[in-house]
Chain A
Amino acid sequence: MKSLIIIEHKNGVLHRMSREAISGAQKIGGDITALVIGEKAELISSELSNFQIEKTFMVNHELVPSYNADGYKEIIKQVIESVSPNVIITGHTYQARDFMPRISASLDIPFIPDVIEVEDNIYIKQVLNSKLNASISSSEEQVLVSFQSASFSEEDIVKGSSSSEFFEASLDASSIKSKSDEPFQESASEVDLESAELIVSVGRGIEKEENKSIAFELAEVIGAEVSASRPVVDAGWLPSSRQVGSSGSTVSPKLYLSLGVSGAIQHVVGMKGSKNILAINKDPGAPIFEIADYAVVGDLLEIVPKLITALKDS
């Protein structure tokens, strides 16, 4: 068994889900090769040298200093042809969703995305609005796989040592068909949710924009950051920098206290790795309760003000 992990990084920082992918690849077993692309490849590969993997290939090509789909496709194809891995692994990030299908179509290798568990060449994935799990198999020699956030734990990574070497990819300018501008943020980020220890999260269940003040007050009392689900951000009640979920941040705090968050899968993938989940929701059937440690059924507009008073008094 040979696997190839495509590593994701931004501004010299290794993506958390790439660490989870290494953890998942180690669980599958066999020889693991990692691939790091871009002008920060050496920096990232030095971080990988502490992990139990066979080796890291670095590609630092002038045409692909940072991510672009065309360049990634060409480079990854060449590495796949050279390494002949049985499984090509990434985290199920927005970037992976962009380039993995192109490799799939280009090399005629099936892509099984958003996998939550792997056993004996069977890949388990949520289907039908995440209500059922499907076990998927492939009879192909090679498969592309992406792992859902928090399906494997970076804490389980086996440490060790590994070597790294440059891989010479041949690329010409005509293969880069699309031009990517510099990434930007709409509003300067005022919060760092991903390193927050405690999070109070606001969902549609707060009903009105002015009710967000009780979330901020509760957060202040316990020393937490405030996050939101997508509907709250789309309504303009909180900025997108506070959004948790597949299109926002992925968090794993000690406490995730959600107020009126229903628990759509797009939100859940961003917070299910939290150590403790306490959810307050009026609807006893809210999907968030499926993954909560503490499911408080009730009206948050009644509970939270009294909770704030009680916490201040104690």
Chain B
Amino acid sequence: MKIAVLVKQVVGSESSLEISPDNKWIEYSSATFVMNPPDSYAIEEAMSIKETVGEGEVVIVTMGSDSVQKVIREGLSKGADRGIHIQTDGKTNIDPLNTAKNIASALDEENFDLVLSGLQSDDTGMGQTGVLVGELLNMSTATLAIETNIDKEKIRVKRELESGWFQWVTLESPASISIQSGINQPRYPSLKGIMGAKKKEIKVIPVSEHETKQQVENIAVPQKSKETEIINTDVDSSVKRIVEILKSEVKVF
């Protein structure tokens, strides 16, 4: 079974966020980067499907400047077999259709059985690239998978719905599936894995031009919309004030 995992390098949650002079994004020179956390669940799921099936290949696919090869290596060190890097100038791309068209053309000839992706990225939060790629490649798609039951004969996915509801869906192969965070316990790379990753192949494909259909006009710190009363005092005074709020202001009784 041939599995592609779409991953992304994103600004880390602890990174400094300095707005760039054109007010359209942030300065990458002062930012720190990590693998998009939801993507590690997709890698783990791909590895465990390959292990269950007993044969196949896991390919880590990403797009960005040369620095994104770091997240491919991270995937390879966890046991993935090779990488595909769609190389760009590193400018922020907030157009998922554009991204998906590039990924789809990189994957097209490879005939993957499965494409897995994380729920959404922590930077742009578009949450659609995996489905877009699936649709562009005429695959079946499913989102928010919280359990998978996949072998050579069938693709069954338990989807998370809202308010504690779930649904099993049976998909035709090939399929693109977005993975809900928390589906598994992502493994850590072993020392042997880290050493081995250095020798694995990363194929570099130059980005191709597609029309840009959405762009950032401006980026800003959100305005706080409500006034907050801060109660930061000793326990007894806090309790007294909370009782007052509940009785006279919120009127819970």
Which residues of chain A have a CB within 8 Å of any CB of chain B? 69-70, 93-95, 97-98, 100-102, 104-106, 108-114, 122, 125-140, 143, 177-187, 189, 194, 198, 222-224, 230, 234, 239-241, 243, 247-250, 254-255, 276, 278, 284, 289-299, 302-303, 306-307, 310-311, 314
Beta-carbon contact of A114 and B166 below 8 Å: no
Q: Is B180 an interface residue (CB 8 A)?
A: yes
Beta-carbon contact of A127 and B123 below 8 Å: yes
Which residues of chain B have a CB within 8 Å of any CB of chain A? 11, 13, 17, 19, 26, 94-97, 100, 122-128, 131-136, 140-144, 159-172, 180, 182, 213-222, 224, 226-232, 235-236, 238-240, 242-243, 245-247, 249-250, 252-253
Min distance, Cβ B193 to any Cβ of chain A, angstroms? 27
When distances are taken between beta carbons in the complex, the residues of chain B under 8 Å from A297 are: 230-232
Beta-carbon contact of A132 and B26 below 8 Å: yes
Beta-carbon contact of A294 and B239 below 8 Å: no
Closest 8 pairs between A and B when the two form their complex, measured CB to CB: A105-B135, A101-B128, A101-B131, A110-B213, A297-B232, A181-B168, A135-B218, A105-B132
When distances are taken between beta carbons in the complex, the residues of chain B under 8 Å from A179 are: 169-170
When distances are taken between beta carbons in the complex, the residues of chain A under 8 Å from B167 are: 180-184
Q: How far is the CA of A31 from the CA of B226 in the complex (A)?
A: 33
When distances are taken between beta carbons in the complex, the residues of chain A under 8 Å from B180 are: 247
Beta-carbon contact of B95 and A110 below 8 Å: yes
A-B contact count (CB 8 A): 239
With A97-B144, A104-B97 as given contacts, are A132 and B219 in contact (CB-CB < 8 Å)?
yes
Q: How far is the CA of A307 from the CA of B242 in the complex (A)?
A: 8
Beta-carbon contact of A183 and B166 below 8 Å: yes
Q: How far is the CA of A67 from the CA of B217 in the complex (A)?
A: 36
**A and B contact pairs by CB, cutoff 8 A, 20 listed:** A102-B141, A104-B128, A110-B213, A127-B123, A129-B11, A136-B215, A136-B217, A137-B215, A138-B214, A140-B214, A177-B140, A182-B167, A186-B166, A198-B252, A255-B246, A293-B228, A295-B232, A296-B238, A302-B235, A306-B235
Q: How far is the CA of A298 from the CA of B231 in the complex (A)?
A: 9
Beta-carbon contact of A298 and B232 below 8 Å: yes
Beta-carbon contact of B239 and A222 below 8 Å: no
Min distance, Cβ A286 to any Cβ of chain B, angstroms? 12
When distances are taken between beta carbons in the complex, the residues of chain A under 8 Å from B136 are: 105
Beta-carbon contact of A311 and B243 below 8 Å: yes
Q: How far is the CA of A110 from the CA of B126 in the complex (A)?
A: 11
Q: How far is the CA of A140 from the CA of B133 in the complex (A)?
A: 20
Residue of A whose beta carbon sits closest to that of B242: A307
